[in-house]
Amino acid sequence: MLSIDDIKKKAQSWLGNEFNEETRKEVREMLEKDEKKLIDAFYQDLEFGTGGLRGIMGAGTNRMNIYTLGMATQGLSNYIIKQCGNKGIRVAIAYDCRHNSRLFAECTADIFSANGFEVYLFESLRPTPELSFAIRHYKCHSGVVITASHNPPEYNGYKAYWNDGGQVVAPHDEGIIDEVRNIKSVSEIKFNGNKNKIKIIGKETDDAFLKEVLKMSINPEIIRKYSDMGIIYTPIHGSGVMLIPPALKLFGFRNIISVPEQEKPDGNFPTVKSPNPEEPGALKLAILKAAETGADLVMASDPDADRLGIACKNKKGEFILLNGNQTGVILTYYILSQFKEKKKYKGNEYIIKTIVSTDLMDMIAEKHRVKCYNVLTGFKFFAELIRNLEGKEKYIGGGEESYGFLPGDYVRDKDAVASCALVAEAGAWAKSKGKSLYEMLIDIYLEYGLYKEKLINIVRKGAEGANEIKAMMMAYRKNPPEIINNSRVVKINDYETLVSTDCASGKNTKIDLLKSDVLQFFLEDGSKISVRPSGTEPKIKFYFSVNTKLESTGKFEETEKLLDLRIQGIITDMKLS
């Protein structure tokens, strides 16, 4: 870590005329009054990683501001020119509801246009999946969305995309990172934009996007019958408000009820602790509104509307929150079963899931004779696989446990817009059979087995924490457990060495994926434990998946409790509680 003298010297370099007065004033105040804040703002450079930038907003090299964002955009511009030349380059830019998002989007547009690019900039906030669509629709070479997803209000971020509409992957990710690192001074950033190169886009792009969303509908006749089904939707103050209600109406739903307190875009997210649909508190107001109105279904999207949270009624009429695995299972089952019923299969269809997501999706695909590809965590790997299989096989859906799903391939990132519309359609389909969406989920468990998943995050902050996480992974590799919760470990997948080991025979087979710091232990009783350090936060993640046969719907709660006990037994045995 830099000494305080080095940090002060670094901060003083931000007092030059190349920085605006607002920035210079903030830096002066830190130098004079707040050493702790100064250290945090300048002790390191905000790293441009494989997904882009994400950080707290403010002045400093370790903060999100027009200068750190500018260096990222200039580095990305330099890479695009090296790869594609400097003529006829097109890029698209979207942004969400966060503080400074419009400022950052306009700054990005200026830099791209100053580099000679034609820029498609959305007129106001839009969901991330529409940015992915716009890149493909306008035949862009690249694109950027300004968002920090579900981070706290003080954060913002910057995600870079390539010409297929997917987030950048190898070799482009490392190439862009190198170009960003090569920017040594803000004087290298071309801030003076060419307004003639910037085209503002809006309704015409929305209409083209929604036209593709509508193609995802499988049972429009059922929606016509149940068009008055009560649906509560909340954008949690985010960009989903722009397109999710219109998508639901386009599908044919007429009884869409908003949550007034959360409908207006607001970067402070005043009604929630976290604007994250994974958090039960984020859906609290929506569930109260559902109880008040007698609605059938509750849906929420995160600030950039790429992830969705769902709540639906059980037999007692109580709203149950679904996790990301359960939503993925419902959508997978609905798509595959209805493709079969409608005779839509051509024989080359496939779905995608991540290696840490529920294996129930694999089971459903297998029964419907559809391929299920497993990829590393992150939707950029979905996009990469879809691109590689284009023209050979047909992607029809897929998702990950962290509340992301993508139906159809016109977008190359997770998409809460189409997913919300399709969940609502699945709800209408379940209603046509006299069931709720939750009862439909239990029917799936009855057919395939009851699968239960749980995620534990162990936070270890700072350099000491990072070393502790490394030591944990090393210990699991050097001395892997032989028995966990009285069940023998039968297989170990190590994605760092790309070796799968059969523990009984000692036979090794190659894993055909990119290297990643992930370990998986498969137990004799069908349980699966996945361990991976987070790529964006100071934590190590443990994913637990257990399953057993469900004898009857009447035994659901009893069987679920037994699986909860099994998960707790694994956690206790691994000394994680």
The CA distance from 85 to 570, in Å, is 55
Is the peptide bond between 171 and the residue preceding it cis, with omega within 30 degrees of 0? Answer: yes
Q: What does DSSP say about strands 519-523 and 487-494: parallel, antiparallel, or unpaired?
A: antiparallel
The CA distance from 74 to 160, in Å, is 12
List the chain domain ranges: 44-201, 228-446, 450-573
CA angle 154, 160, 165 (to 5 degrees): 130
Q: What is the CA radius of gyration of the chain?
A: 24
State whether residue 94 is helix, strand or coil: strand
The CA distance from 72 to 93, in Å, is 14
Q: Which amino acid is at 86?
A: N
The answer to whether 405 and 331 are in contact (CB under 8 A) is yes
The CA distance from 9 to 31, in Å, is 10
The CA distance from 295 to 363, in Å, is 32
Structure tokens at 102: 């419009």
Distance between the two ends of the chain, CA-based, in angstroms?
33
Structure tokens at 130: 């529409």
Structure tokens at 194: 């060419």
The answer to whether 422 and 331 are in contact (CB under 8 A) is yes
DSSP letters, 397-419, are: EEEETTTEE--SSSSSS--HHHH
Architecture of domain 228-446: 3-Layer(aba) Sandwich (3.40)
Please tell me the predicted confidence (pLDDT) of residue 313: 95
Q: Could you state, in chain order, the average pLDDT of each consecutive group of 10 residues for the chain (577 residues)?
A: 90 95 97 94 89 93 97 98 95 98 98 98 98 98 96 95 96 94 95 97 98 98 98 98 98 98 97 95 97 97 98 94 97 97 94 97 97 95 97 97 96 98 98 96 98 94 82 95 97 97 96 95 97 83 97 96 97 93
Report CA dihedral (390, 394, 400, 404) to the nearest 10 degrees: 90
Q: What does DSSP say about strands 349-354 and 371-375: parallel, antiparallel, or unpaired?
A: parallel
**C-alpha 61, offset from chain centre:** 26
Instruction: Report whether CATH 1.10.3810.10 matches the domain 44-201.
Output: no
CATH (residue range 450-573): 3.30.310
State whether residue 288 is helix, strand or coil: helix
The answer to whether 303 and 275 are in contact (CB under 8 A) is yes
Question: Which residue of the set 142, 149, 516, 530 is catalytic?
Answer: 149
Please tell me the predicted confidence (pLDDT) of residue 431: 97
Residue 77 is among the residues annotated as catalytic for this protein: no
State whether residue 321 is helix, strand or coil: strand
The CA distance from 88 to 512, in Å, is 37
DSSP letters, 347-369, are: S-EEEEEETTS-THHHHHHHHTT
Q: Which amino acid is at 405?
A: F
The CA distance from 326 to 399, in Å, is 10
Whether the domain at 44-201 and the domain at 450-573 fall into the same CATH topology: no
Which pTM was predicted? 0.95
Please tell me the predicted confidence (pLDDT) of residue 489: 97
